[in-house]
Every structure is written in C-alpha cells, then in structure tokens.
Amino acid sequence: MAGTLILILVVIFFAVNMGGSGIAPSFAAAYGGKLIRKNKALILFGIFVILGASLLGRNVSLTLGKNLIPSEFISFDVALIVLISAALSLFLANILKIPQSTSQVTVGAIVGAGLYFKHLNLATLSVKILPMWVILPLASYILTFLLYRNIYPPEHDNLHIYQKIFSNEKKIRLASLVASCYVAFAIGSNNVANAVGPLFGAGLISVNLGLFLISPLFGVGAGILGKGPLETAGKEIVPLGLVSSTLVSFVTATLLIFASFLGIPQSLVQLNLAAIFAISCLKNGHRHTLGSHITKKTFFVWAITPLLSVLLSYFLLLVFKR
C-alpha cells in the first residue's frame, strides 16, 4: 500500500513538473505579446496537451513501455525506480537552472534498468532514438536559420516581407496564438508518455487510460508551477518579436509531432533552444552565441543528466534488488 502511494505521488510530481515547465515554451510569446491573459493561456495549454496525448501519445508510450526493454522486466519496483531516477536527474538540471529534457532522462532511467537486467534493445536505442536526438535539434537549428534569414537583417530585397507583416498584424498575432496551442498539442503527443510508458510496461495501466489520466496533470502543473515561468519567459521572449517566436514555435512543434509519429521520445526544450540559438546566431554571430558561457553550460548539462539518470537507475536497482 505504501509503495502504491509513493508511486502515485512520484507520477503526480513528475507530470506536474513537466506541465509547469511546458507552459513557458508554449505560451510565453502569446502572453508576453498581450494576446492572451494568463488564466486563459493555462486553460488552453491544458486542453491542447490532453488532445495531443489522446490523439498521438500512444507510439512514444509503447517505445518507453516495451521497446527499450522487454515489459516482463518492468515490475512495479522497476517502474518506481525509473520514475524516481528521471525525476532526480531533472531536479539536478533545475538546480543548475538549465532546461532539460524529461524524455531524455526517462530514456536514460529505462536504459539503466536494461543494463541491470542485461536486456536492453540496442537497435531501438542506437538506430532509432539516439540518431534522432542529434538530427532533430540540428534540423530545428537549420530550418529556423534558413527561414529567418529571409527576413533578417532588413534589406532592400526583403522589405516587401516587412510591409506584408505590418499590413497583416492581426493575422500575425492570431498565428502566434495558434502556434502556442500547436506547441501544447505537440507536448501532449510526446511528453505525457514519459510518465505513462513505465507504468504501461509494468502492466499497471493501459496506454490509453494512462494518457487519459496523466495528461490533465500537465494542466494542473501549469496552473500551480507555470505562472512564474510564463511571466518570466513572456518578458524575455517578446524582444524576439512575434514573428520570430511564432517561427520558433511552428518549427519546434512540427518536429516534435514528427518524433511522436515515429514513437521517439524527444525533447521540446532542445528543439526550442536550438531554434532560438539559430536566431541568436543570425543576430549576434555564431562565435558569440556558441562560445558563450551559458551555451557551453547548456550543452554540458544536456550531456550529463541523461547519463546520471542511467547511473541512478542502475545503482538503485543494484541496491534494492539485492
């Protein structure tokens, strides 16, 4: 009974924190641009996360629940350790103030379990997941760079684009709001599976029921934890402008939904920051952007926290299974 209560609390904690961190990349631009009030942003975020999870969340849940390690090795205890390891690794990234991927720390925790049981599906990991973790952020950077280069810096050849933007300001503002909902939908299609997958693998819940029960917790997390990040990110992102932030949202959400179709747990945070790095490179230059302290720290934390999740999961199993 105590174990069940602990597992429920860990799942709630994990899902609520994912929701709290997901609201900022979704609705910061729309909120900062005064297109929507905070409470409405939180409600829309919750609705579209649920829609994304319901319509497209199954494939990633299956990958995390049975395609990395056989489901017969995911018991109640293993699911609990996987979720605790992922949550602790994510907590470290938060302490270092670097946004980290819940998908990657979850995969890391499952990999740790697979190494412990000596039943890790290397084909799924090395052929399907790891290459896309490199390819998709690169695609986010390249697509954003190429698209934004058409309008920045302002030159004689692209002034007609600025004229269209200024003459269609209402449509641009609407597009920004649509992009926010689109990102929330993408989060639901991919990230809800981080909590559902281990539970499904342990046979504790079906995929559909898990997505139905856990996705609303993202909205709860946005309401409880997301108001501060939304306020901060809204003020910080607005100087990029509605056009650039809308472009970032559409590129990153499209790539995240693509990953969901393929059943790949993917990081919205990394797709989002890769796109923002592209805009920064155009404005400030590659050397300044990629050579900055915060960029180096970000890449370091991105590399180390999934590895930490692997080690935590492995050693916790080593201790408790003995």
DSSP letter for each residue of 268-314? HHHHHHHHHHHHHHHHH-HHHHHTSHHHHHHHHHHHHHHHHHHHHHH
One-letter identity of residue 93:
A
pLDDT attached to residue 238: 43
Residue showing tokens 């501060």: 228
73-98 pLDDT per residue, tens = 899 999 999 999 988 877 776 666 66
Q: Which residue's structure tokens are 């990633």? A: 60
For residues 183 and 25, the answer to whether their CB atoms sit within 8 Å is yes
Determine the pLDDT at residue 30: 78
Quote the crossing angle between the two packed helices 169-190 and 242-262, to the nearest 10°. 30
Structure tokens at 86: 């992922």
Q: What is the pLDDT of residue 240?
A: 62
Residue 304 CB coordination number (10 Å): 15
Residues 40 and 246: beta-carbon distance below 8 Å: no
Residue 216 burial by Cβ neighbours in a 10 Å radius (0-12, 13-18, 19+) = middle
Q: Give the pLDDT score at 322.
A: 60
At 233 the pLDDT is 54
Residues of the chain predicted below pLDDT 50: 237-238
pTM of the model: 0.89
How confident is the model at residue 304, as a pLDDT? Answer: 81
Q: Cα separation of 240 and 29, whole Å?
A: 9
Residues 6+ apart with CB under 8 A from 296: none
